[in-house]
Amino acid sequence: MSEPADGKLAINYETCTGCGLCVLACPVDVIRMDAATAKPAIAYPRDCQVCYLCEDDCPTHSISLSHDISNSRRYSTYDEFGLDITWPK
């Protein structure tokens, strides 16, 4: 079921300039500007769809994504049929 994406998306606040481009980029409103720190905050990690738009648009390369389908409501046919997915050598 939908899983929290905590840890799958990270912002490096050392290099982040607070330009806000990642906030604009996120289609599903995961990232919000934190008024107190003037830096982006990962407000709704569960909804991250790992689309890379924020990572692509960040001018300082401060965002990293772990690639796992974090919010996945997808189900694997291989689990349903109990199939091992390793390529037979």
Per CB under 6 A, 28 contacts ligand SF4: yes
Residues in contact with other proteins by the rule CB under 8 A? 1-2, 24-29, 43-44, 46-47, 49-53, 55-57, 65, 67-69, 71-81, 83-85, 87-88
Nearest to 8 by CA among 25, 39, 30, 37: 30
Task: Give the DSSP H/E element, type plus range, for residue 22.
Answer: helix 21-25
- Cβ(39)–Cβ(3) under 8 Å? no
- Cβ(70)–Cβ(5) under 8 Å? yes
Q: Least distance in Å: CB of 41 to other proteins?
A: 13
Which residues form the interface with ligand SF4 (CB under 6 A)? 9, 11, 16-22, 25-26, 28, 30-31, 40, 48-54, 58-60, 62-63, 65
